[in-house]
Amino acid sequence: MIATIQYNSKKLQIDLSKPLDISIPLRASKNNVNAWYLEEPKIEPVKDGEWTASVAEGADVNFNNIWFNPHAHGTHTECVGHITEKSHSINQNLKQFFFLAEVITVAPEKKGEDFVISKKQIQFALGNKKRDAVVIRTIPNTKEKLSKQYSHTNPPYLLSEAAIYLREKGVKHLLIDLPSIDKEQDDGELLAHNAFWNTAGRTRFDATITEFIFVPNTVIDGTHFLNLQIAPFENDATPSKPVLYEIIE
């Protein structure tokens, strides 16, 4: 199904029958992707005395409780409320859901004991392009990312200079295939988060960061149309399902 979309002053054609889902599903499994020192998610039927809310166990319906943390257990989108004393909800701050996005692939560079993404790498990958959203795929890019246990592994992260560059370039929505844009242990500085949301200046309440995506190798670098789908949680972060569409030339 080909759709013609008016986006700003441009008309774009996309094939709605060919979505490119870049989210990681949440599973009640020790093999679920994980970070921040938490146990795996749990999806369990409600129990009331001897009654268990499972059709397989004689109930009329399946009626499950779900325990998870959006930051630790899969693809999630967060707003500045993630790092502010005052509460801010992603559901209240993200009000548009379709964006022109650039997919870029970056190989994090060695810096001391860390691997980092620098401003220079982002500059090279984006060139002169102006985009509302940037989707960063890091390499190596293997299916291990769908089940990796990130706690205590010091994953790659974004240098604050790169976050500042993206902010100054007008990027409102940053998506990345890592558990965080910041270093796992950074004494609470969260330099890239603060830089991207500009907390030291005019805070960007409408800007979002989406972490724990997975961009398959079949998705080509370049411009895509992004549908950033979120669950309506009144919380700093929510599970999300970003979906890309190739733009038909």
CATH of the domain at 7: 3.50.30.50
Tokens (6 digits) for 71: 């930051």
114 in a domain, yes or no?
Answer: yes
Question: Which range of residues forms the domain containing residue 139?
Answer: 2-26+74-246
62 in a domain, yes or no?
Answer: no
Query: Residue 2 belongs to what H/E stretch?
Result: strand 2-7
191 in a domain, yes or no?
Answer: yes
pTM of the predicted structure, to 2 decimals: 0.96
- pLDDT in the model for residue 43: 98
Question: Smallest Cα–Cα separation from 234: which of 110, 131, 89, 125?
Answer: 89
- pLDDT in the model for residue 19: 97
**Distance separating alpha carbons of residues 204 and 80, to the nearest angstrom:** 8
- pLDDT in the model for residue 230: 98
130 in a domain, yes or no?
Answer: yes
- pLDDT in the model for residue 184: 98
65 in a domain, yes or no?
Answer: no
39 in a domain, yes or no?
Answer: no
**Distance separating alpha carbons of residues 27 and 24, to the nearest angstrom:** 9
b/e burial code for range 100-135 (CB count within 10 A of at least 16 → b):
bbbbbbbebeeeeeeebbbbebbeebbeeeebbbbb
pLDDT above 70 as % of the chain: 100
**Distance separating alpha carbons of residues 208 and 90, to the nearest angstrom:** 8
To 5 degrees, how large is the angle CA 214–CA 215–CA 220?
175
User: pLDDT tens digits for 202-240?
Assistant: 999 999 999 999 999 999 999 999 999 999 999 999 999
User: pLDDT tens digits for 6-29?
Assistant: 888 888 899 999 999 999 999 999
249 pLDDT above the threshold of 80? no
| Mean pLDDT of the 136-160 span | 98
User: pLDDT tens digits for 56-71?
Assistant: 999 999 999 999 999 9
31 in a domain, yes or no?
Answer: no
CA atoms within 13 A on the CB side of 217: 7
Give how many domains the chain has, as a whole number.
1
45 in a domain, yes or no?
Answer: no
| Mean pLDDT of the 187-194 span | 97
